[in-house]
Amino acid sequence: MIWLTWRQHRKQALYTVIGLAVLAAFIVPTGVAMHRDFDRLVVKGCATSTPDNPCDTFHDFSTTYGSYIYFCVLLLVVPLLFGLFWGAPLIAREIEQGTHHMIWTQGISRRRWALTKVGLLGGAVTVLAVVYGLGIAWWFEPLGYLESRFDEIFFDVQGVAPVGYTLFAVAVGIAAGALVPKVVPAMAIVLPAFIAARIAVALYARPRFATPVTNDFPVIAGDADGGGGMQVGSWLLNSDIRRPDGTFVSSGAMVCPPADATECLGGLSADLRNRQVFQPADRFWTFQWIEAGIFTALAVLLVWLAIRRVRRII
Amino acid sequence: MRGQEMEHVLEAEGLGKRYGARWALRDCALRLPTGRIAALVGPNGSGKTTLLHLAVGLLRPDAGAVRVFGETPYENTTALADIGFVAQNTPVYRDFTADELVRMGGKVNRRWDATLARTRLAQAGIPPHTPAGKLSGGQRAQVALALALAKRPRLLLLDEPVASLDPLARREFLQSLMGSVAESGTTVLLSSHILADLERSCDFLVVLQAGQVHLTGAVEDIVAAHQQLVGPRHHGEPIDGVATVVRARHTDRQSTLVVRTDGPVTDPAWTVHELSLEDLILAYLAGSDTQSNHEAWGVAA
């Protein structure tokens, strides 16, 4: 069975490795350059300043590499590609070509056939996704000072979350292929199902993984307590300006130095307060594991349903 | 120990399979004796494929039971080891070469005679390193047959293996099939609607029509028990020696009957003709009415 699985899927494994190699050909040199320049311009060049209060060379770094963060939007589709090209054809292609009648009437049970194929491909996909996720996390490290790695999109392309997404996408493909045993319709199911699940979790579930922290600080503040203590790398969920009784004035934040407060406030009351709701930066990996866990659990459920379904296919 | 049971390799009792509300196979009773080469005959949609899928364990019966070597084949790898199966359109992995398919068989079967498969493929002139998708239909059918035979099955089930082949490839396929099962004593159940081929190669017959078994038995018994009678216009009165009228065609003055006999037909009014197997099968298949179609189309019969 191992040989058979390898023989059947070696071509797509080759294409995948080529695809990831092309990705690595971009990620590795740019990552090395970014790390080197970050070290030179920010760590050494800004020895006296903090990341919260960056120095001029930090701006050099940011203008050189700032545009790289948009590359992350492209990376969002990587798990989907696994779902389309690894998941959907796994069962659907066998049935579409009628070869399930041939392989299921040899000496092994369908259950074993399905478990072996899903197990081997799932294992291979996991390994590739872990390499991918940790690779992107390494690449993103310097950029994390420009855009928090905890924010949507950046959270989704690095660490262990993409491993969960990839397994989920493959499982959706397998289940769709067992349900509608044709490759193209199965692919057509993967697309909206994957996107819907991702959006639902990212928008509605993820902010609630842990109770967010609320920061309350006056609009007139010195450099020492400016920003209200929200660390770099936190995930800002909501930020607004309110009156002391809690009524809403405006969204955003405002910090005015005590020296020229009147001019800065421009007629606004001086007792307004900033209110920031956020997930602290040190929860990043907890959230990563929760996110990966949710999608891995969904993947296991879908694979279980698909294997049950395989026993009813004719 | 199982000597008594082994007289029949395949037994079905009240076997039925339903797709939604429609019964693809209903109340099917069948006993296939060991060592026979049996033809499973019927028009398209009569349940041939369903019966074969039930026998090889791809389907689970909705009614009754089917047994192969005394075992229920559904999800039963023990029974599966003794059954060779060639599915309709002889599917094999199209990107695998014949050599790789033989290798695959060794990985997914406990008993596997790779030498037998390679010998057969060499005899059939199949190139070993060409992807199966690039072989002709006849060559691919030979590959599928070689894979089924390499299991050294005691029962070989073939679903329309020659349907898509040209007459020459068809004859070669059936010849090589007959040659190899004659050596091994394998029982064969072969579905087809190409009647002329079956007459040459099969010694047992199962006729399916609309999901039911209409006729089953050894070919020689069946041929001996059926006759064509030509005589005066017949109105359903009993004829001496005739058990059932399978099909009757009438002109104003004359009737032509295909009958199953239970004794000699001695009535001098009737002229008795021998029937070929093909004519006999066609008589059974044409015997069922076409009334329902006319109703469905809303036209007069």
* Contact residues on chain A for B83, CB-CB shorter than 8 A: 105
Which residue, among A196, A192, A133, has the nearest Cα to A164 in the 3D structure?
A: A133
In the prediction, which pLDDT does B169 show? 84
Which residue, among B53, B104, B191, B164, has the nearest Cα to A103 in the 3D structure?
A: B104
By CB neighbour count within 10 A (0-12 exposed, 13-18 middle, 19+ buried), where does B77 fall? middle
* Contact residues on chain B for A102, CB-CB shorter than 8 A: 85, 87, 91-93, 144, 147
Mean pLDDT in runs of 10 for chain B (301 residues)? 62 92 91 92 88 93 93 90 92 94 94 93 92 92 93 93 84 86 89 80 89 89 90 85 87 89 86 88 73 68 58
Give all domains of chain B, ordered by start, each with its CATH number.
Answer: 5-210 (3.40.50.300), 221-290 (no CATH)
Q: Starting from the edge strand earliest in sequence, which strands make up the sheet with B63-68, in order?
A: B22-33, B8-19, B63-68
Q: Which runs of consecutive H residues, i.e. helices, occur in B28-166?
A: 48-56, 77-80, 98-108, 114-123, 137-150
* Contact residues on chain B for A310, CB-CB shorter than 8 A: none
In the prediction, which pLDDT does B45 show? 83
Return the percentage of chain A with pLDDT > 70, whole number. 93
Question: With an 8 Å Cβ cutoff, are A106 and B151 in contact?
Answer: yes
- Helix (H/G/I), strand (E/B), else coil: B165: coil
Structural domain boundaries in chain A: 2-208+284-310, 216-282
Cβ within 8 Å of B, A 94-153? 97-99, 101-111
Instruction: Give the N- to C-terminal CA distance of chain A in Å, as an integer.
Output: 21
Q: List pLDDT tens digits, range A89-128.
A: 999 999 999 999 999 999 899 999 999 999 999 999 999 9
Q: Which two tokens stand for residue A139?
A: 């690449």
List b or e across B85-114, with b for residues whose CB sees 16 or more CB atoms inside 10 angstroms.
bbbbbbbbbeebbbbbbbbbbebbbeebbe
Q: List pLDDT tens digits, range A197-232.
A: 999 999 999 999 999 988 888 887 765 544 556 677
In the prediction, which pLDDT does B2 show? 44
Q: Does A7 touch chain B (CB under 8 A)?
A: yes
Chain B's closest residue to A104, CA to CA, is B58
In the prediction, which pLDDT does B244 show? 86
Place of tokens 């369908």: A110
Which residue, among B111, B106, B118, B108, has the nearest Cα to B142 in the 3D structure?
A: B118
Q: Which two tokens stand for residue A201?
A: 């979790």
- C-alpha B212/C-alpha B191 separation (Å) is 15
By CB neighbour count within 10 A (0-12 exposed, 13-18 middle, 19+ buried), where does A54 fall? middle
Question: With an 8 Å Cβ cutoff, are B105 and A106 in contact?
Answer: yes
- C-alpha A82/C-alpha B234 separation (Å) is 72
As for the ipTM of the complex, it is 0.86
Distance (Å) of CA B284 to CA B29, B143, B213, B249, B270: 17, 34, 11, 13, 21
In the prediction, which pLDDT does B1 show? 41
Per-residue pLDDT band at A148 (split at 50, 70, 90): confident
Average pLDDT of chain A is: 88
Beta strands in chain B (DSSP E): 8-19, 22-33, 37-41, 63-68, 83-86, 155-159, 187-192, 204-209, 212-218, 226-232, 242-250, 254-261, 271-273
List, in sequence order, every residue forming a beta bridge with A238; answer none if it has no partner: A277
Could you please report the per-residue DSSP string of B106-136? Answer: HHH-SS--HHHHHHHHHHTT--TTSBGGGS-
In the prediction, which pLDDT does A49 show? 58
Among A102, A103, A310, the strongest candidate for a mutation testing the B interface, having the largest count of B CBs within 10 A, is A102
In the prediction, which pLDDT does B4 show? 47
In the prediction, which pLDDT does A136 show? 94
Please report which helix (H) or strand (E) contains residue A273, including its range. strand A273-279
Q: Pick from A8, A99, A108: which is nearest to B108 by CB?
A: A108
- Count CB atoms within 10 A of the CB of residue A117: 21
Per-residue pLDDT band at A54 (split at 50, 70, 90): low
Among A3, A101, A108, A117, the strongest candidate for a mutation testing the B interface, having the largest count of B CBs within 10 A, is A101
Residue A129 has pLDDT above 60, yes or no: yes
Which residue, among A79, A170, A168, A182, has the nearest Cα to A118 in the 3D structure?
A: A170
Q: List pLDDT tens digits, range A16-49.
A: 999 999 999 999 999 999 999 888 887 776 766 5
Distance from CA of A116 to the nearest CA of B (A): 12
Question: With an 8 Å Cβ cutoff, are A311 and B103 in contact?
Answer: no
Contact B91, A98 (CB under 8 A): yes
- C-alpha A151/C-alpha A139 separation (Å) is 16
Sign of CA dihedral A38, A39, A41, A42: positive
Question: With an 8 Å Cβ cutoff, are A107 and B151 in contact?
Answer: yes
